[in-house]
Amino acid sequence: MNLTGLALRNLRRRPIRTALSILGIALAVGGALALLALSRSIQDATRDGMDEMGDDLAVTQKEAPDIFAGFLPGDTEARVAKVAGVMRAAGEMFMFAPSEKNRQVLTVGWLETSFLWAKIPLREGRVPNAGERKVVVVGDATADALAKKIGDQIEIFGDAFTVVGISKYKAIINRGTVMMPLADLQELSYRPNQVSMVHVNVARDASTAEIARIRRDIEALGGVMVSTSSESLDNDRNFKILNAVSLGISIIALAMGVIYVLNSLVMATQERTREIGIVAAIGWSDTRIMTSIVIEGLVMCAIGCAFGVLLSFFAAFAFPLIPTIGDMISFQPSLRLMAATIGAAFLLCAIGALYPAWRAISMMPAEALRRA
């Protein structure tokens, strides 16, 4: 018999309360992990999508709070392309647009001369021909979800478009994207002669200093901000809000889980005042008594965390089924995220368990024995 064995035995004495406390921790850890994974997945999916497009730099409106809120003049692409060191540039407009079956699809518009058309990995069909309008290339995820094939009509913003191609991007966010001529999207969004951003490629062998110089030169054009895909996402207001909300809710969830454990331990120590008096009377030190109580809390926390991780996996794998955001989520378990969440849960549990432990030893053994 050791302190852990003793803690397990004490926990088994009140199985329902212990189970409820463990469930509380499991829900807290599971909820926290799932929420954090959700926000991280969306951000990662977006980053993967931008990386798959092969951008070295992205040019957006200066001071725009997020990538959807900024717009640039249509001639920005040409001005950027003239900057020394820029190999090619392509303007793009993007937005979420209502489509069929109440789905919001990420819709992008490119100039018919854009190199981005040539980079589309086509599963079937073709890209729009020069001057062709009201046609789209649909990501395979959207095509499958809406049961579209080549030649079918798809509704975007209430207008009918003909599906001429189906892409097979790897990034989940690109797999759901609908691509159409820029002019069509400008017309649909009442933003003629505007783009949301400009994709920039620089020479493959460009040094860091060279890239920094190119950034400066582009920014010198005025009114624009140049960033890598990671930087643009990190500075994005929407992602900041998403991350902050996820973190806040996760902390609240963890705190609630810890309160379950704290409540359970406070009740247990109150019920066992006499027993704490007994072990003190037979010579257990205050430290040992406190340790035994904290171990009880940590055992509950450990079991709760294990269940919580399982719960978070179930939740995270269920996220893609959510209609509005499912196409944007690609959940990948992160050991770092799990370690951080579980570490936080353990730390909070240990701190939480210290209070009942301190209460337990703050009483003289004789007083504890009298209170029985």
Partner 1 sequence: MIATLKRLFDRPMPSEDAAAALIALAGVSRNFDDGAIVALKAVDLAIDAGECVAILGPSGSGKSSIVNLLSGIDLPTCGRVLWNGRPVASRRAWARLRRNDIGIVFQEFHLLPTLTARENVEMALMGRGILAEERRERAEGALARVGLAHRIKHLPHALSGGERQRVAIARAIVNAPRLLLADEPTGNLDSANAEAVADLLFNLQRDTGMTVVLVTHDEHLAARCRRCVRIRDGEIADDRVPAAAALPPIAETEPAVTDAEAPVAAAIAAPSEPAPAIAEATAVIARTGYPIPEAAR
| Residue that is written with structure tokens 């035995």 in the block | 9
The sign one gets for the Cα dihedral 50, 55, 56, 61 is negative
Burial class (CB in 10 A: 0-12, 13-18, 19+), 29: buried
Q: Which is nearer to partner 1, 109 or 277 (CB)?
A: 277
Q: Least distance in Å: CB of 267 to partner 1?
A: 17
Q: What's the CA gap between 275 and 283, in Å, rounded?
A: 13
Q: Least distance in Å: CB of 272 to partner 1?
A: 9
Q: Least distance in Å: CB of 294 to partner 1?
A: 15
Copy the structure tokens of residue 277: 């008096």
Copy the structure tokens of residue 163: 């599906």
Q: Least distance in Å: CB of 266 to partner 1?
A: 20
Q: Which is nearer to partner 1, 170 or 274 (CB)?
A: 274
- Interface residue list for partner 1 (CB under 8 A): 1-3, 9-10, 13, 274-275, 277-286, 288, 364-367, 369, 372
Q: Least distance in Å: CB of 21 to partner 1?
A: 18
Amino acid 11 reads L
Q: Which is nearer to partner 1, 10 or 264 (CB)?
A: 10
Q: Least distance in Å: CB of 15 to partner 1?
A: 13
Q: Which is nearer to partner 1, 285 or 332 (CB)?
A: 285
CB atoms near residue 206 (< 10 Å)? 17
Copy the structure tokens of residue 25: 């921790």
| Residue that is written with structure tokens 């368990």 in the block | 353
| Angle (nearest 5°) at CA 93 between 85 and 160 | 145
Q: Which is nearer to partner 1, 13 or 170 (CB)?
A: 13
Question: Got the DSSP string for 303-324?
Answer: HHHHHHHHHHHHHHHHGGGSTT
Q: Which is nearer to partner 1, 10 or 18 (CB)?
A: 10
**Largest distance between two CA atoms of the chain:** 93
